[in-house]
Amino acid sequence: MVPMDAAQPGGGLRSEELSPDKWRYYVVEPPQEATVTSSGQRIPDYFQHILDQAGRLSKVELRFAVTLYPKSQGFHGYPVASLLGWETFTRFEDILDDAAVNEIREGFKSLQDIAGQFPRITRASEKFLHLRGVAGSDLYPLGLFAIIESLLTHDPHGRYDSLRHQIASKIPLLEKRMAMKLDYSVFRNPTPQEIWQALYSYRSTIAHGDDANFALAELRILVNRGRVEQFLTQALKSLIRHAMREPELVTDLQKV
């Protein structure tokens, strides 16, 4: 993608076809063994399903543009731009280096390790992947909250057992053990508990169909919707990745 007019930066972009010698892409190939999972999914279907989740949970958020199957299974794929969306397609900020690939590899292995043993964590990872489909709508932050709650909360039994109270107390406690720390710097420097209290005020507002007014005292520390979604996305990634590392701990914490 190049500027339409080099003399006027920001005046729009146009596509410019590259010669094949300048193409840059990676090919990920599944194992050749014709095995099936316990649920009956065939490789490579199962392989890509897990790999898509691992990519979603990584910092780079790797996405797969085209899927090719053997002739006997036919062809399935999507144009790169329509899969990523033009905004994402034209703004690559992260680098797919060895560290990023290793992170995806570790996520892939962890998802395989917990498959069948911890269905709540597996479902959370799958739902997080599917949530991409509603990005940009109010359903997206509500979905993020719902997945976080499914991992950490039980049905509340009173005011001091509310979802708001459970999340505000459990997240800071669990964060001490997370390898991927939460980045509260996107907000205006209150304590983590104050941020989660404000986030639940935001959740309540949009869940009732109202527009969030970030000028109000209870929401002011959140700054704007973009920062809320950025933080919640990163927080859920951190939580799921830690849940895969210590599944028993997260499962037990959900009951407390």
Least confident stretch, 141-145, 234-238, 251-255? 251-255
Show the 3-state SS of the chain.
CEECCCCCCCCCEECCCCCHHHCCCCCCCCCCCCCECCCCCECCHHHHHHHHHHHHCCCCCCCCCEEECCHHHCEEECCHHHHHCHHHHCCCCCCCCHHHHHHHHHHHHHHHHHCCCCHHHHHHHHHHHHHHHHCCCCHHHHHHHHHHHHHHCCCCCCHHHCHHHHHHHHHHHHHCCCCCCCCHHHCCCCCHHHHHHHHHHHHHHHHCCCCCCCCCCCCHHHCCHHHHHHHHHHHHHHHHHHHHHCHHHHHHHHHC
- Answer with the residue of higher pLDDT: 161 or 216: 216
- Answer with the residue of higher pLDDT: 135 or 145: 145
- Give 209-236 pLDDT, tens digit per residue: 999 999 999 999 999 999 999 999 999 9
Res 29: pLDDT: 77
Least confident stretch, 27-31, 108-112, 168-172? 27-31
- Give 34-74 pLDDT, tens digit per residue: 455 556 666 667 788 898 999 999 988 887 766 666 666 55
- Give 71-93 pLDDT, tens digit per residue: 665 555 544 444 444 445 445 56
pTM over 0.85: no
Domain ranges, ordered by start, for the chain:
1-116, 118-256
